[in-house]
Amino acid sequence: MLQSTSEEPLLARLTHMEQRYRLTCPDCGHKFWITPKLIKTSMFDGSVKGFRCPERSCNGVALWDEEAK
């Protein structure tokens, strides 16, 4: 871990984190950081389907596509 931090600039690491862990609601366009309380799971197999938008008036779910990350 220390080796990777010395080789990769801080700004590049922060940009990568934002791309991976900050989603945009497809319904209202609100950008939000993912948190465990926002997880939306499948009723059938319990897999993570996405993250619910934290805006009160929005019922959108930003899909979680691990292969695209």
Report the C-alpha gap between 7 and 25 in whole angstroms.
33
Q: Comparing 33 with 4, which gets the higher pLDDT? A: 33
pLDDT at 10: 80
pTM surpassing 0.75?
Answer: no
The 39-41 sheet, strands edge to edge: 39-41, 48-52, 61-63
Domain ranges of the chain: 22-69
Report the C-alpha gap between 13 and 49 in whole angstroms.
26
DSSP class of 56: T
How does pLDDT run across 10-69, given as a tens digit for each residue?
Answer: 888 778 777 778 899 999 999 999 888 998 988 899 888 899 999 999 999 998 775 444
Count CB-CB contacts under 10 A for residue 51.
23
pLDDT at 24: 93
pLDDT at 55: 95
pLDDT at 9: 83
